[in-house]
Chains A and B, each alone.
Chain A
């Protein structure tokens, strides 16, 4: 079924009462424009306002609290959402699907685009539009699903604002920074996300500075942390320096990760996958998780290949890019095995940032940047004398400087 601009239809008529209709997908696409287009879904109250920020679903907030709307992109679309409207709280009256151009061009310069409905992966209806349908709008409401007399209806709106995302957010009752000419990021600030962890608030600003510097504000990724727990690390664990690593890295996970969790592994001759570190459990993570580090069965020799395999296993099917931060204090000897694993993992959406701390003999880790035979450079390495020898700001800078390069290369090769 083709839907025309301005058309209003009952959702049931789009789905023709098919049984799977309680769970459908919306796919969005805009093409032929040189600037980036950001898509979002705004859940509005009966006053047509975004009274709860949690109901803006996009890149950095991929799911509503109720789980009714979740990022899920159908093949061939730029972005999409899985929708289970029955899960939506009644306070949400309307869902507006929007597109905003981030750049100098406007909607009239797009070639074409669409908002389509899919059931079980099959398209059932499409609202197609082209640049001729628009004028100088930079942000548009493509379509909206709304409640009407106890049923859901869809309206192909196709209207918007020349003022871009800022004007759109304002239309929905959101507050926008005073300087509306500046690019407005609609993403929840890291500080706000860290509000429940007052100890980390201080880090939020520093992390944000680095994220902005490397243009990672809008990036969604999973974040993993691999901790060397070989015998030579004992002092670092005992003196709380490893806990400090958790504290410093959690803000990155909160920023990047869809579930605000840091996946953690510790390894020595064996590997242990720990429960993810979150804002609820991070504070005493090293000393209390799984009985505390002393009970993890670590503190022996180091076997990197084993943990690398486990990390790959967890992430190989993920659709999001993954940033793995791998802490080692050196003594790396299984060079050939590590090299082979990371070479074959180059086709996976995983970037490995190795960090050497206070040790020596990092073996193959030091050559990873220049290692040949990979589709993309999927590794980075830097060494610190001591975990706490650099400022937090510098740490974030060093941790994040290669990741965007990989993201770009991996995108080009369609790895992510």
Chain B
């Protein structure tokens, strides 16, 4: 298991695993044991510039747009219940392919239909994000956020960013209300 980060913590991916070229961002949570609507968590990625905004809508990778035009970020598919062990949703990032004007890739998780289902992250158990070296299969970093999220319906889980020629990972754990739409607007998507 990789280095476990707390909210706000960061580490140099390049230093921690010099062989790192392609990464998997894995997102997991426990399926709901109680009765009621499933917790359907959706992972998304925003590729943003220095100013924190996307270049265009195609820099927003989510279940309806699963691959960036440059091919550097790919969403591997939607899981609607959280059933099964390990990652429930994942995104693949090919670091070398990330365009030069993209400074950060932000990974977010939102609860689908949270408002009408009256759900929030506090009700979801054992949610985590992890960074895995796709080629070796080794986990590089991990962030368990069950205690950092509660009444929010959208979360910035973490981000990878360029820093002095290195790639770093930061465990953000910042929650927002308003779901995916609100998050998307924040990063400059026209919704």
Contacting residues, chain A, for B120 (C-beta < 8 A): 4-6
How near does chain A come to B5, taking the closest CB pair, in angstroms? 15
Secondary structure type dominating chain B contacts: loop
One of B34, B118, B119, B146 near A161 (C-beta < 8 A): B34
> Chain B 141-177, CB within 8 Å of chain A: the 1/0 string?
0000011011100000000000000000000000000
Contacting residues, chain B, for A157 (C-beta < 8 A): 123
How near does chain A come to B150, taking the closest CB pair, in angstroms? 4
> Chain B 87-125, CB within 8 Å of chain A: the 1/0 string?
000000000000000000000000000000011111100
One of A5, A136, A156, A162 near B118 (C-beta < 8 A): A5
Contacting residues, chain B, for A162 (C-beta < 8 A): 35
Is the CB of B36 closer than 8 A to any CB of chain A?
yes
Contacting residues, chain B, for A158 (C-beta < 8 A): 123
Contacting residues, chain B, for A9 (C-beta < 8 A): 150
In this complex, what residue of A is CB-closest to B149? A8
The answer for the CA separation of A80 and B102 in the assembled complex, in Å, is: 56
> Chain A 155-183, CB within 8 Å of chain B: the 1/0 string?
11111111100010001000000000000
A6 touches B36 (CB 8 A): no
Is the CB of B33 closer than 8 A to any CB of chain A?
yes
Is the CB of A46 closer than 8 A to any CB of chain B?
no
Contacting residues, chain B, for A161 (C-beta < 8 A): 34-35
> Chain A 130-148, CB within 8 Å of chain B: the 1/0 string?
0001011100010000001
B118 touches A159 (CB 8 A): no
One of A6, A137, A148, A163 near B123 (C-beta < 8 A): A6
How near does chain A come to B119, taking the closest CB pair, in angstroms? 7
A135 touches B36 (CB 8 A): yes
In this complex, what residue of B is CB-closest to A160? B34
In this complex, what residue of A is CB-closest to B32? A159
Is the CB of A47 closer than 8 A to any CB of chain B?
no
- Which of B36, B120, B149 has most A Cβ within 10 Å? B36
Is the CB of A206 closer than 8 A to any CB of chain B?
no
Is the CB of A389 closer than 8 A to any CB of chain B?
no
- For chain B residues 13-37, which have a beta carbon within 8 Å of chain A? 32-36
In this complex, what residue of A is CB-closest to B114? A6
Is the CB of A153 closer than 8 A to any CB of chain B?
yes
A148 touches B147 (CB 8 A): yes
Contacting residues, chain B, for A5 (C-beta < 8 A): 118, 120, 122-123, 151
B122 touches A6 (CB 8 A): yes
The answer for the CA separation of A7 and B149 in the assembled complex, in Å, is: 8
How near does chain B come to A94, taking the closest CB pair, in angstroms? 12
B147 touches A159 (CB 8 A): no
A137 touches B122 (CB 8 A): no
How near does chain B come to A145, taking the closest CB pair, in angstroms? 14
The answer for the CA separation of A415 and B33 in the assembled complex, in Å, is: 41
B35 touches A8 (CB 8 A): no
| A5-B118, A6-B120, A8-B122 known; A160-B150 Cβ under 8 A | no
The answer for the CA separation of A137 and B33 in the assembled complex, in Å, is: 13
- For chain A residues 1-34, which have a beta carbon within 8 Å of chain B? 4-9
The answer for the CA separation of A52 and B20 in the assembled complex, in Å, is: 48
A7 touches B34 (CB 8 A): no
The answer for the CA separation of A159 and B150 in the assembled complex, in Å, is: 14
How near does chain B come to A157, taking the closest CB pair, in angstroms? 7
One of A148, A155, A167, A171 near B122 (C-beta < 8 A): A155
How near does chain B come to A48, taking the closest CB pair, in angstroms? 9
A137 touches B35 (CB 8 A): yes
Contacting residues, chain A, for B146 (C-beta < 8 A): 8
B122 touches A7 (CB 8 A): yes
- Which of B32, B119, B147 has most A Cβ within 10 Å? B147
The answer for the CA separation of A138 and B85 in the assembled complex, in Å, is: 29
- For chain A residues 297-320, which have a beta carbon within 8 Å of chain B? none
Contacting residues, chain B, for A163 (C-beta < 8 A): 35
B35 touches A160 (CB 8 A): yes
The answer for the CA separation of A89 and B122 in the assembled complex, in Å, is: 27
A135 touches B35 (CB 8 A): yes
Contacting residues, chain B, for A171 (C-beta < 8 A): 33-34
In this complex, what residue of B is CB-closest to A167? B35
Contacting residues, chain A, for B118 (C-beta < 8 A): 5, 133
- Which of A141, A153, A159 has most B Cβ within 10 Å? A159
Contacting residues, chain A, for B151 (C-beta < 8 A): 4-7
- Which of B32, B35, B147, B151 has most A Cβ within 10 Å? B35
Contacting residues, chain A, for B32 (C-beta < 8 A): 159
Q: List 25 A-B contacts (CB under 8 A).
A: A4-B150, A5-B118, A5-B120, A5-B151, A6-B120, A6-B121, A6-B122, A6-B150, A7-B122, A7-B150, A8-B147, A8-B149, A8-B150, A135-B36, A137-B34, A141-B34, A153-B147, A155-B122, A155-B150, A157-B123, A159-B32, A160-B34, A161-B35, A163-B35, A167-B35
In the A-B complex, list the 8 residue pairs whose CB atoms are closest, starting with the nearest: A6-B122, A6-B120, A159-B34, A8-B150, A6-B123, A7-B150, A162-B35, A4-B151
Chain B residues with a Cβ under 8 A of chain A: 32-36, 118-123, 146-147, 149-151
Q: A6-B119, A159-B35, A162-B35 are in contact. List 10 more A-B contacts (CB 8 A).
A: A4-B150, A5-B118, A5-B120, A6-B120, A6-B121, A6-B150, A6-B151, A137-B34, A155-B122, A159-B123
